[in-house]
Amino acid sequence: MSENSFPGWHGTTIIGVKKGGEVVIAGDGQVSLGQTVIKGTARKVRRLSPGGFDVVAGFAGSTADAFTLLERLEAKLDATPGQLSRASVELAKDWRTDKYLQKLEAMLIVTDGSELLVITGAGDVLEPEHNIAAIGSGGNYALAAARGMIESDLSAEEVARKSMAIAADICVYTNGNLTVEKISK
């Protein structure tokens, strides 16, 4: 099998929902190698605390690549305490210009409780519309479901959980084993 045809390890479907003064990031637990489920209980949502500054990050894509990016983000946050946007832009710049980082196949959703951002390998740092961000193979399903519920009386966590349940029912690369982290400012 050539390197280009190797399916790789992939972790999928993360949603971030900002509502009612809190932000919730939820991620499923499935890790797939091609069409095979390798693990169903992975933790793809992490709480980072560089310098006592809490940030929640969720990742989709290649697991090893995502951990590399999380380490880099933590270093950027150490260098710019309390400035999530600045740290995210610095990470995105490095990701786009560094030949090693350019090969990483992952995306991140990050929040400090006030900002909700998506960081991509194309050098993008995006603040999503409607206070909802979703990435990964089931991301569009979760995003559509959350958009339909965001104006209801449900809390951010309830919207995230119900959206992930819908995505898990539709996307074969998403399961119902959730990791959910909540943060507020």
**SS3 (DSSP) at 2:** coil
- The CA distance from 184 to 34, in Å, is 37
Active site residue 63: no
Q: Which of 12, 13, 63, 111 is flagged as catalytic?
A: 12
Go through the chain and tell me how many residues it has. 185
Q: Is the Cβ–Cβ distance between 134 and 127 less than 8 Å?
A: no
- Containing 63, the helix (H) or strand (E) segment is helix 63-79
- What amino acid occupies position 65? D
What are the distances in angstroms from CA 19 to CA 2, 25, 113, 136, 157? 45, 12, 10, 22, 9
Q: Give the torsion sign (CA, 63, 64, 65, 71).
A: positive
Residues that are catalytic = 12
